């Protein structure tokens, strides 16, 4: 009996769970806690986290490469429009981001349209020297002659002496059009290294390149200041030019300065509505004809190849040409006042007889 009383007293101390049933909300929470996790929910949560991380990474990459992205966008807009003002605006935008526009400039350089590739020449000059030289060197091999020559001029004007190594390599190629464009560009350079490029080109295996070398040598000697410092280089180039008066190999096409003169003449005559009376160069010419014509222009008299067969005659002609060029450089330009101005117009301080 005592044991029974003790057990009853112990039971009375326990909480009466049966007397307080669980609410529906508690049942639901308890069921959630007891139920196993759904694998699909876990995968969804992971995908969400990876998506957020990817968005953050893309945002950071966009901030890091924003100039490159903008450059490609400008190049896309440039290639999509024919408006010259808009193209100029997009070109100016590309120039503001420097080397970040390298990829966009390459896109312009590889476009199918020659006018877009011509714009790539100007865009490439705003890049750093290594990036610019690579783009311009590739454009030197363009099948459009105007693009080739524009790339060569840009190499010389933008890089000057640094470009001559590239021009030396390109001028030795066996692609006549590409090598001739590189040689034509050397006539624009004041660097003495241009003489080496021109001398090698004058011995090129292709007659078209030799003919272009003759024209470039003549204009380089006439306009370059390098002859003042290195008379021997100019003399050697002139002697080589004179030797080419016996080169009877033929070539087809116009030379660089011939094209420029023809283009300017056509533009001026078209502006004044005057018919062009100049005859275009024949399709096939001998290299010796180009040499004789350039020597006649430099010397101021008609040169006949048979009259300069001897070494003494060639050396005398070279000296005469160099002296004539030096004299023309010392002569006052047409826009300068004559030295004896007082003798020609009188002393302005002394009144003339007709002055009251």
The mean of the pLDDT values for the chain is 79
Domain that holds residue 83: 67-127
**Percentage of the chain modeled with pLDDT above 70:** 71
pLDDT at position 60, please?
63
Question: Quick check: is 79 in a domain?
Answer: yes
Average pLDDT over residues 133-141: 90
Asked if residue 302 is part of any domain, the answer here is no
What the block records as the tokens of 276 is: 């062009």
The answer to the question of residue 52 being in a domain is no
pLDDT band at 161 (very low <50, low <70, confident <90, very high): low
Query: Is the model's pLDDT at 55 over the cut of 90?
Result: no
Range of weakest confidence among 113-127, 205-219, 230-244: 230-244
Using the structure block, give the residue that is written with the tokens 């408006």.
Answer: 83
344 located within any domain? no
Report pLDDT digits (tens) over 18-44: 445 545 555 544 555 554 556 666 777
CA distance 2 to 309: 152
- In this structure, is residue 91 part of a structural domain? yes
Q: How many CB atoms lie within 10 A of CB 37?
A: 7
Using the predicted structure, report yes or no on whether residue 2 has a pLDDT greater than 70: no
**pLDDT band at 273, cuts 50/70/90?**
very low
The band of 249, judged by pLDDT with boundaries at 50, 70 and 90, is very high
Give mean pLDDT, residues 50-69.
72
Question: 356 in a domain, yes or no?
Answer: no
- pLDDT for residue 86 is more than 70: yes
Contact 225, 231 (CB under 8 A): no
Q: Per residue in 290-317, is it b (16+ CB within 10 Å) or e — as a string?
A: bbbbbbeebeeeebebeebeeeeebeeb
Q: Is residue 239 within 8 Å of residue 315, measured between CB atoms?
A: yes
318 in any annotated domain = no
Q: What is the mean pLDDT of residues 235-243?
A: 91
Count the domains in the chain: 1
185 close to 173: Cβ distance less than 8 angstroms: no
In a domain, 86, yes or no: yes
pLDDT on residue 235:
86
CB atoms within 10 A of CB 121: 27
With vertex at residue 225, the alpha carbon angle to CA 222 and CA 229, rounded to the nearest 5 degrees, is 115
pLDDT of res. 331: 58
Query: What distances in angstroms separate CA 55 from CA 41, 46, 50, 63, one per listed residue?
Result: 21, 14, 9, 12
What's the CA gap between 58 and 42, in Å, rounded? 24
Taking the C-alpha atoms of residue 172 and residue 125, their distance in angstroms, rounded to an integer, is 24
pLDDT at position 103: 92
């Amino acid at each position: 009996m005592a044991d029974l009383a003790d057990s009853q007293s112990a039971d009375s101390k326990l909480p009466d769970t049966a007397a307080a049933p669980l609410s529906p909300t508690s049942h639901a929470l308890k069921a959630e806690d007891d139920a196993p996790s759904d694998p699909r929910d876990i995968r969804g949560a992971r995908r969400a986290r990876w998506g957020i991380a990817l968005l953050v990474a893309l945002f950071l990459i966009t901030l890091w490469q924003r100039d490159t992205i903008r450059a490609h966008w400008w190049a896309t807009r440039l290639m999509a429009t024919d408006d010259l003002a808009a193209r100029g605006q997009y070109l100016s935008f590309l120039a503001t981001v420097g080397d970040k526009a390298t990829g966009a400039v390459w896109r312009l350089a590889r476009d199918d349209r020659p006018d877009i590739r011509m714009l790539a020449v100007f865009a490439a000059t705003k890049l750093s020297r290594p990036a610019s030289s690579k783009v311009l060197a590739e454009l030197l091999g363009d099948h459009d002659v105007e693009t080739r020559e524009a790339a060569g001029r840009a190499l010389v004007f933008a890089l000057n002496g640094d470009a001559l190594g590239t021009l030396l390599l390109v001028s030795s190629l066996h692609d006549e059009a590409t090598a001739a464009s590189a040689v034509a560009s050397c006539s624009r350079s004041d660097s003495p290294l241009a003489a080496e490029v021109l001398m090698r080109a004058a011995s090129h295996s292709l007659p078209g390149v030799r003919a272009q070398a003759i024209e470039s040598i003549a204009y380089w000697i006439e306009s370059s200041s390098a002859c003042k410092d290195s008379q021997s280089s100019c003399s050697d180039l002139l002697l080589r030019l004179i030797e080419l008066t016996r080169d009877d190999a033929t070539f087809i096409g116009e030379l660089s300065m011939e094209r420029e003169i023809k283009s300017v003449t056509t533009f001026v005559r078209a502006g004044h509505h005057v018919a062009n009376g100049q005859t275009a160069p024949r399709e096939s010419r001998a290299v010796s004809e180009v040499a004789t014509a350039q020597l006649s222009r430099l010397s101021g008299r008609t040169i006949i190849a048979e009259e300069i067969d001897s070494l003494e005659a060639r050396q005398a002609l070279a000296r005469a040409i160099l002296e004539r060029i030096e004299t023309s450089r010392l002569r006052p330009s047409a826009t300068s006042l004559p030295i004896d101005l007082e003798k020609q117009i009188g002393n302005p301080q002394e009144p003339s007889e007709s002055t009251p």
